[in-house]
Structures are given as structure tokens and as C-alpha cells.
């Protein structure tokens, strides 16, 4: 029978401990809503412990790193015709009659639905409040609220610039 040296015994212990640790830790999953694709920093969540498969998690999107969003504090109100409407959470373009404005942070469609509002359609007249925000090193005008046909939806907290859908669970039909 061959004896293990101190180094060999230590290696065996390390491999055994690593194997136990890996088999005991399950996968955690989560998805934060809101924010920008161009933001900085990285998000990390705590994984669950135990066995089983990773499932979809819907949470507030807390993370480690810079939030990547700094608001100017200057809010402006614009009225114009909707020229284009991006994907959920993306941007819109409105023609104010004097200039074309690109605005971001429309929010997910389910947030609009939960507020009993339809998303705007190209050609509609909209009134928006927006604030200039710095995302990383890029300045963007982000939506605070939008009014369509007399109905207003609040999209962000004006004091913090955080999206109001942040941390909300999606309705069950979308899970």
C-alpha cells in the first residue's frame, strides 16, 4: 500500500472539500427590472443552497457596483407627435415641431398594463416630463412621466430617478 505524502494528502483533502462544496450549492437565479443596457457595474445575487434546478427569479435588481445613473435634477416638459417607439424599456422619439427628441426609459409593457394604460402609438400626441441623466459617460434624456389622451403614467420617482417598476413582480400571466 502506497502512503500519501503531506502534499498528496492535502491535495486529496482539497479536492474532497471542493467536491462537497460544489455539490451542496444550488444555483440561484434572479432578474432585476429597469436600468439601462449601457449602465456600468455588475449585478450579483446570492444563490440558494441545496439541490435542484435553477428557476427564474424576479427581484429588485440589486447589485454590486456603480448604479450607472446620475440625474441632473432639471426636469423639462415636452409635447409632440410620437415618431418612433422602441422595444419595452427602450426609447421613443417625438417631434416637438421645433426639434426631434430622443427619450429613454419607457418601461416594460406589463407596467403599463398594470396601470391600465396602453403604450403610445406612432402618430399620437404625447406630453412627457423628462430629466437629463448621465449613464456611464453618456447623457440621455429619461422619461419621468408621459401623458397620452388625458391619461398620465408616472414612470420614475422624480427625486431618485429610479424606475417605479423596479422591484415589482411581473403579473403571473407573464412568468
pLDDT band at 116 (very low <50, low <70, confident <90, very high): very high
Contact 82, 74 (CB under 8 A): no
pLDDT at 34 over 50: no
Ramachandran assignment for 18, one of left (phi > 0), alpha (psi -120 to 50 degrees), beta (any other): alpha
- Give the separation between CA 154 and CA 146, rounded to whole angstroms: 7
pLDDT above 70 as % of the chain = 54
Reported as a single tens digit per residue, the pLDDT across 56-65 is 555 555 444 4
When pLDDT is averaged across residues 162-170 and rounded to a whole number, the result is 77
pLDDT band at 5 (very low <50, low <70, confident <90, very high): low
Contact 124, 84 (CB under 8 A): no
Reported as a single tens digit per residue, the pLDDT across 79-113 is 999 999 986 557 899 999 999 999 999 998 899 99
Smallest Cα–Cα separation from 74: which of 134, 147, 127, 30? 134
Q: What is the greatest pairwise CA distance in the chain? A: 89
Global pTM value? 0.58
Contact 39, 136 (CB under 8 A): yes
Q: How far is CA 30 from CA 9, 38, 79, 86, 112, in A?
A: 39, 20, 37, 25, 22
Kindly list the domain boundaries of the chain, sorted by start residue: 6-59, 69-174
Q: Which residues make Cβ contacts (< 8 Å) with residue 174, sequence separation at least 6?
A: 110
Q: What is the model's pLDDT at position 23?
A: 38
Ramachandran assignment for 67, one of left (phi > 0), alpha (psi -120 to 50 degrees), beta (any other): alpha
Q: What is the model's pLDDT at position 43?
A: 42
- Answer CATH for 69-174 from 1.20.1050.90, 2.30.30.100, 2.60.40.3620, 2.40.50.140: 2.40.50.140
- Give the separation between CA 125 and CA 122, rounded to whole angstroms: 9
Amino acid at each position: 500500500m502506497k502512503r500519501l505524502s503531506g502534499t498528496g494528502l492535502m491535495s486529496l483533502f482539497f479536492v474532497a472539500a471542493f467536491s462537497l462544496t460544489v455539490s451542496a450549492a444550488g444555483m440561484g437565479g434572479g432578474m432585476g427590472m429597469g436600468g439601462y443596457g449601457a449602465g456600468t457595474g455588475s449585478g450579483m445575487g446570492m444563490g440558494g443552497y441545496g439541490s435542484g434546478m435553477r428557476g427564474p427569479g424576479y427581484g429588485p435588481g440589486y447589485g454590486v457596483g456603480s448604479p450607472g445613473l446620475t440625474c441632473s435634477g432639471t426636469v423639462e416638459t415636452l409635447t409632440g407627435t410620437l415618431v418612433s417607439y422602441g422595444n419595452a424599456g427602450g426609447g421613443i422619439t417625438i417631434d416637438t415641431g421645433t426639434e426631434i427628441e430622443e427619450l429613454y426609459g419607457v418601461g416594460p409593457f406589463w407596467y403599463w398594463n398594470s396601470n391600465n394604460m396602453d403604450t403610445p402609438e406612432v402618430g399620437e400626441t404625447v406630453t412627457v416630463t423628462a430629466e437629463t441623466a448621465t449613464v456611464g459617460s453618456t447623457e440621455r434624456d429619461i422619461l419621468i412621466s408621459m401623458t397620452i389622451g388625458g391619461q398620465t403614467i408616472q414612470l420614475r420617482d422624480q427625486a431618485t430617478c429610479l424606475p417605479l417598476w423596479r422591484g415589482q413582480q411581473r403579473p403571473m400571466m407573464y412568468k
